[in-house]
């Protein structure tokens, strides 16, 4: 556990009871991916009431969600740099009808759903910090907020946001595991690789020599592939394979879905090219065809240790007595997209544990510390 001290002057700044209530309220408003509308409208009302300029964009229409991203702005009372805070509104399944259970300072679901702390802990922390800033008239620069849709499964909300409407060049995503003080400064790029082998059907008992087996082609390709851990920075995996029918027919079609990730865009290209080549060579060897579809899911990002953003977050952690730890993520988040769009961003730990499982839980202390950290970052940039 990170150590923390009570700050000089006694109590912490944020309203802990309100923060907890807020979080419990949020997770009980269902917002599965692509059905974020009800929750989005709830947040918009809340932000408007606080006096922020709020709107919803049209990203939902482009990606098949019933809601757009929620974008809000709080005008500064200093000329400090504009900064952005972001978190995603959607939750993974099973995530409908969440019933929180609190035990010994820890919030769990009732065991039938996820908790939704991924990423409503981030949203609650951001709004609580902003409300505190307003109520206590704390000096701050312009603050921009993005609550995104459809993060899970592809970062589609962030990818379809209109970045020309944002002024911030510095951003903080609150969507990481690890206690507040954990700072994700690096994340991998990912490619999705879908291959479909097309052979030729023939009766397997009567005239197999006239067939081309898609199963053999796929097996040949996969057996030649470097997979799983490629090097320190690179991984690859085949997660799905399907095809075939009765044993008396030479199989015409087989498809697989694979991914490759790397902290280096160059190595990702190398690994992807290798996987594509294995498919093509296998198809050629058996005289069949292969259609390979490569989609870049997101690009890599790296924020330098000595950059202003990392230094400021570390300073904010120090002010609060949190241990600051910079780390690399194995997965993608909206942070990857923000960096690709020219906003230097890091992903901050909000304490979510066992996210994406029904055992997901959150320490109330971590939730409080996440809100305190957002507030402290605002002060550092004022
Ligand atoms: Zn998340
Ligand atoms: Ca997630």
Choose, from 57, 144, 151, 366, the residue flagged as catalytic. 151
Distance of CA 331 from the midpoint of ligand 2 (Å): 9
Say if residues 32 and 110 touch (Cβ distance below 8 Å). Answer: no
Judge if 79 and 120 occupy the same domain: yes
| Average pLDDT rounded to a whole number, residues 221-233 | 97
Phi, psi of 94 (to 5 degrees): -80, 120
How many domains would you assign to the chain? 2
Judge if 344 and 223 occupy the same domain: no
Distance of CA 26 from the midpoint of ligand 1 (Å): 15
Domain boundary among 266, 298, 330: 298
Q: Tell me: pLDDT of 274 over 80.
A: yes
Judge if 27 and 154 occupy the same domain: yes
In a domain, 314, yes or no: yes
Burial label for 210, CB within 10 Å (0-12, 13-18, 19+), is exposed
Give the pLDDT score at 10: 41
* Number of the ligand closest to the Cα of 152: 2
Judge if 205 and 149 occupy the same domain: no
**CATH number for the domain that contains residue 262:** 3.30.70.360
Judge if 52 and 181 occupy the same domain: yes
* Number of the ligand closest to the Cα of 335: 1
**CATH number for the domain that contains residue 99:** 3.40.630.10
* Residue 41: how many other CB atoms lie within 10 Å: 14
Judge if 197 and 269 occupy the same domain: yes
In a domain, 212, yes or no: yes
For 81-108, the pLDDT digits (tens) are 999 999 999 999 999 999 999 999 999 9
Q: Tell me: pLDDT of 76 over 80.
A: yes
Q: Tell me: pLDDT of 270 over 50.
A: yes
Give the pLDDT score at 235: 96
Domain boundary among 298, 324, 341: 298
Say if residues 325 and 178 touch (Cβ distance below 8 Å). Answer: yes
Q: How far apart are the first and last CA of the chain?
A: 29
In a domain, 4, yes or no: no
Give the pLDDT score at 331: 87
Distance of CA 355 from the midpoint of ligand 1 (Å): 8
Catalytic-residue membership of 90: yes
In a domain, 31, yes or no: yes
At residue 8 the predicted structure's pLDDT band, cuts being 50, 70 and 90, is very low
At residue 75 the predicted structure's pLDDT band, cuts being 50, 70 and 90, is very high
In a domain, 1, yes or no: no
> What distance in Å separates the CA atoms of residue 52 and residue 274, rounded to the nearest whole number?
50
Buried residues in 240-257 as b, exposed as e (16+ CB within 10 A) = ebebbeeeebbbbbbbbe
Burial label for 8, CB within 10 Å (0-12, 13-18, 19+), is exposed
In a domain, 135, yes or no: yes
Coil, strand, or helix at residue 247? coil
| Average pLDDT rounded to a whole number, residues 196-203 | 98
Say if residues 71 and 165 touch (Cβ distance below 8 Å). Answer: yes
> What distance in Å separates the CA atoms of residue 120 and residue 305, rounded to the nearest whole number?
28
Choose, from 57, 90, 220, 376, the residue flagged as catalytic. 90
* Number of the ligand closest to the Cα of 122: 1
Say if residues 313 and 345 touch (Cβ distance below 8 Å). Answer: no
Q: Which residues pair with 301 in a beta bridge?
A: 187
Q: Tell me: pLDDT of 127 over 70.
A: yes
* Number of the ligand closest to the Cα of 123: 1
At residue 7 the predicted structure's pLDDT band, cuts being 50, 70 and 90, is very low
Residue 350 structure tokens: 């909000």
> What distance in Å separates the CA atoms of residue 275 and residue 141, rounded to the nearest whole number?
48
Domain boundary among 279, 298, 317: 298
Catalytic-residue membership of 151: yes
Distance of CA 73 from the midpoint of ligand 1 (Å): 22
Give the pLDDT score at 6: 45
Judge if 294 and 317 occupy the same domain: no
Residue 113 structure tokens: 């759903």
| Average pLDDT rounded to a whole number, residues 106-124 | 98
* Residue 313: how many other CB atoms lie within 10 Å: 25
Q: Measuring CA to CA, which residue among 116, 154, 117, 149 is closest to residue 44? A: 149
Distance of CA 261 from the midpoint of ligand 2 (Å): 17
Judge if 48 and 178 occupy the same domain: yes
Ranges 6-10, 169-173, 223-227, 267-271: which has the least confidence: 6-10
Distance of CA 251 from the midpoint of ligand 1 (Å): 40
Judge if 30 and 176 occupy the same domain: yes
Buried residues in 63-92 as b, exposed as e (16+ CB within 10 A) = bebebbbbbbbbebeeebbbbbbbbbbbbb
For 134-145, the pLDDT digits (tens) are 999 999 999 999
Judge if 322 and 289 occupy the same domain: no
Judge if 338 and 203 occupy the same domain: no
Give the pLDDT score at 2: 47
At residue 330 the predicted structure's pLDDT band, cuts being 50, 70 and 90, is confident
> What distance in Å separates the CA atoms of residue 184 and residue 186, rounded to the nearest whole number?
6
Judge if 160 and 308 occupy the same domain: yes
- Whole-model pTM: value is 0.89
Characterise 140 by phi-psi region: left (phi > 0), alpha (psi -120 to 50), beta (else). beta
In a domain, 127, yes or no: yes
Mean model confidence pLDDT for the chain: 96
Distance of CA 35 from the midpoint of ligand 1 (Å): 16
Helix-helix angle 16-27:364-380, to 10 degrees:
110
At residue 1 the predicted structure's pLDDT band, cuts being 50, 70 and 90, is very low
Domain that holds residue 373: 16-187+300-380
In a domain, 3, yes or no: no
């Amino acid at each position: 556990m990170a150590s923390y001290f009570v700050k000089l002057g006694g109590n912490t700044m944020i309203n802990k009871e309100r923060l907890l209530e807020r979080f419990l309220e949020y997770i009980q408003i269902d917002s599965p991916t692509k059905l974020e509308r009800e929750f989005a409208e709830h947040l918009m009302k809340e932000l408007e009431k606080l006096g922020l300029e709020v709107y919803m964009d049209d990203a939902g229409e482009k990606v098949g969600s019933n809601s757009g991203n929620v974008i809000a702005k709080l005008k500064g009372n200093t000329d400090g740099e504009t900064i952005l805070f972001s978190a995603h509104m959607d939750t993974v399944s099973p995530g409908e009808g969440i019933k929180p259970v609190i035990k010994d300072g820890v919030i769990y679901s009732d065991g039938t759903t996820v908790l939704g702390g991924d990423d409503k802990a981030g949203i609650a922390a951001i709004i609580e910090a902003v409300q505190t800033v307003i109520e206590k008239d704390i000096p701050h620069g312009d603050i921009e907020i993005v609550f995104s849709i459809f993060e899970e499964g592809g970062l589609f909300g962030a990818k379809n946001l209109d970045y020309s409407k944002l002024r911030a060049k510095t951003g903080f995503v609150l969507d990481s595991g690890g206690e507040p003080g954990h700072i994700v400064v690096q994340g991998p790029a990912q490619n999705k690789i879908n291959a479909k082998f097309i052979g030729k059907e023939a009766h397997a008992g009567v005239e197999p020599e006239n067939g081309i087996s898609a199963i053999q082609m796929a097996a040949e390709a996969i057996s030649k592939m470097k997979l799983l851990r490629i090097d320190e920075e690179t991984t690859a995996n085949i997660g799905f394979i399907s095809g075939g029918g009765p044993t008396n027919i030479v199989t015409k079609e087989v498809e697989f879905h694979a991914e490759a990730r790397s902290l280096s865009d160059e190595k990702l290209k190398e690994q992807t090219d290798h996987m594509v080549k294995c498919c093509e060579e296998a198809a050629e060897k058996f005289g069949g065809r292969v259609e390979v579809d490569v989609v870049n899911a997101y690009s890599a990002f790296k924020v330098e240790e000595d950059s202003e953003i990392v230094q400021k977050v570390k300073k904010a952690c120090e002010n609060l007595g949190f241990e600051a730890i910079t780390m690399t993520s194995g997965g993608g988040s909206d942070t990857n997209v923000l960096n690709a769009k020219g906003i230097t961003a890091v992903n901050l730990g909000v304490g979510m544990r066992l996210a994406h499982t029904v055992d997901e839980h959150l320490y109330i202390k971590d939730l409080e510390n996440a809100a305190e950290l957002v507030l402290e970052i605002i002060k550092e940039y004022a």
